[in-house]
Every structure is written in C-alpha cells, then in structure tokens.
Structure 1
C-alpha cells in the first residue's frame, strides 16, 4: 500500500511557519490580546448590577419582555453562583473572535458572491474548516501563539467563521434580479448597488450568519479552556478533571444562560432587519 506522509508534511509546514514567521505571529498575539483586554476591562469595570440592567434593557428592547426578564433572572443567577467574572471573560472572548471572524468573513462572502471563481475556491476551504474536529485547531494555535486566550480566540474564529462567509454570499446572490435592474435603471454604480441595494436586502441572511457564528464561537468555550483560554470553560474543565459535578454544572449552566441571551438578541436583530 502507498505510504503518504500527510501528517509529516503538515508538521514540517507548521514548523517552517513557526521558525520563519515568528514576528508576524507575535504581532497578531499582541494585537488580539490588546483588543481582548480592552473588551474585558470594559465589561468588568461597571458593577455587576449595572451590567445586568444594561444587558437586560438591551434584551428587552431588541427581543421583548420575556427575554428581558430571562436575562435579569439568568444574570442574577450567574452572579449568585460566583461566575460573573468568568462570564464577562467568555463574553469578551466571543466578542473578539466574532468581530475578527466578521471582519474577515463578510468581505470574503461579498467577494465570493461577485466571482464564481472565488466561490469555487472558497467553498472547499469552508467545508474543511467546518468539518475538521475542533480539537485539531488547538495544535497549530498553540504552536503559533502559545497557551492562553489568544490561541483560544484564533481557534474559535477559524471554527466559527464559515457561516459568516456562506450566508453573506448566499444573501447577496439571492437578491432579486428585479431589484438590481431597478437600481441600474436609476443609475446606480457598483458601489451604490452593493451598499444601498444588495447589502440592505441581504441583511436578514447576513445577520443569520452572524447568529450562527456566535453560536459556534460559544460551542468552542470549553474546548478553548483546555489551552488556557479561561472564562466559563475553565470551571467545566476543572469539574471534569476533579469529578466535581457541582462546579461543572454551574459553569455549564452559565454558558447556557449566556448562549440563550446572545441567540435571542441576534435572532431578533435578524428578524427586524
């Protein structure tokens, strides 16, 4: 039988990148860490009661009374379980990873919607990113960025970015041709067509991609904690290691509350777009 050393080639590639692009990865580490620390400080600076009021008001305004009440009750429970700092750290990690994923993914989705060649190239890469087991992303992330929050963010954004690209591409391609023809008849150029016609019409689909990106990022919380990302994944990992059922359940419950809050708010934004 043929012996194809795929693993050896991948190991050689990772080692070559580590040896030759160390400065580039250090720059990414500093940039991502700076952004993350800024978001964490912003979320942790106010008193928890102030943050609970702000987040509940946001949920009430965007998603309605029921979600607002759930947010108040859920966040008070998180504070009562002494999981507040971990929750804000997780929220900061998700905000950072999703922000980077959208900055990269939405323009790539727009490009793919305008070029069949780009779409043919991007589609198998997205398939690979979505089907590769999430644990595998931790290996190069640790080799490139060390242990801690930054490799957790990098692994999270790689895993979570495909829906942003796919649904941006899909949303723009599904804009009715009649709308495009009407815009052209009124003299729209390519920039106006994209910004004033295609993106507004495609916005519900794009926001559905944002929602899916956030949910996939949340699913990486516990996995990222294995390489020192901290947050709510840490008590779950510690509960597993020490067979501490209570600690693990509290961490998991806090993740569920945060997930429901983010899901309902982003879903409502998509529905109202």
Structure 2
C-alpha cells in the first residue's frame, strides 16, 4: 500500500499541473458524463468511442472517468462548467484490468484542440495517477501510436512510463477521425506509478542517456504527414514495422534520445541518469 507521504505528493503534483494548465481535474459528476462523451466524440468521431449508457456504467462502477474544467478565480474552487452537459476542456477514461497484475487501463485522453499545448493531457494523467494510488492501484497502462513523437515524449519522458509491448494493427481498421485508413500499430506502455523512473520524470529531474543498440528516427509531425502525404506515411509505417522487429524477443526496449528519436536499449528502465564508475573515485 502506498504510504501517506507518497499519496500527498501525488495529489500535490496533480494540483501543480492543474495550475500550470489553468484547469481543475477531477472525477466527472453524473450530470457531466454526456459532456465528457461529447469531448471523446469530438476527438475520435461519433460512434467511435463509447455510448452514454456504457460510460455511465463504467463511472458507476468506480472507474476513472475524469474531466478537466476551467479553473475558477478562487484558488479553492472545485471548478465548474457553465452547463454540465457542455464538453469539458479535457476528459479521460480508464478502467480496471488484471491481466499481468492489477492495473488501470487508460483508454482515452482527449483535449479540446483550442486548448492543446497547455498541458491538460498531462494534468489528467497526474490526477488519474493520484486517484489510482488512493485505491491501492500502482500501475496504469495504455497504448499509443509509436510514430507520433509528441505522444512518445509525453509518455516516456514527461510521465516516465515505459514500453512493455509492440502490437501491430492492435485495433484493426479504425477509420476514426484521427487515424483515417492508417494501420493501428501501437506501443503498450506501463506506468509504474511509484517507480524511480516515474518519480524522476514527475519531479522534472534529469533523465538517463540510454545506451542504444539500434533505433528509429521519428518525423516531427507524423499526423501532418499522414494527412498531407498518405503514401509517405505508409512508407514510414512500413519502415517502423521492420525496425520494431528488433524488439520481438523482449531484450531491447525503445526509449527516446535527446533528439526525440527512438533508441533501442537493454538498460534497466529505472537506471539512474549518471553512471558512477567506482574505479574512478578516490579518497584523500
């Protein structure tokens, strides 16, 4: 069970991220679920997410259905929407899983396009983390498209999650507002919520330089390439599948290097940022 000091720090970090983003993140009230669904639908397309009845059942069972709403003028205000049915600035959905150990699977994290770049997605993740730790859940997992650099940076560097598996065509043919006709290849990440790597990332401490045994360069904005030049995007997807074959036996894991490209490494995921060579130290 997580100790009291760690729990308090988890909520403090979530509150700090809320202030940076100018929002309040919290669990959605029952009258806000339609608005949360509208935020999901606006991101992926109507009928491409969940229906309202399912969302109500998921929330009723105690899963993490969260909203990010504008911060009020008062620092102690809970954060309100003018109309509970309005789409919030952000919404997230996660549910319990137990394959390979108890965890929350964070399935959706959506932010209003006009509010992107403020850190709202990160704020929702940190609130989800704090709530999970409150309930004794110490791991969150989710999937992301490995070719989208900004998501890789958020997941691996800003949050300190790590890639656990590569799933080619994980969802099959999505045809949603984000993926279009692209193949749904995904990295599955596991966020060990109190691990050394997660703690360093969340406290904005230096990260390791990974010892690379291969890798894959990423384009700055794969989504823009996919929209403007589908054939180029398809070629990049093909190249990634060839590169990720090196991960099949589980010995290597992808991390991001200083350039924002993948470095395939066998390093301990919790490795400290600086390796100390004991043989180089001396005493006067």
TM-score by length of structure 1 reads 0.26
Q: Which has the higher contact order (CA 8 A, sep 6+)?
A: 1
Which of these two proteins has the greater Rg computed from alpha carbons? 1
Q: Larger % of helix: which?
A: 1
Structure with the larger strand share: 2
Give the TM-score normalised by the residue count of structure 2: 0.25
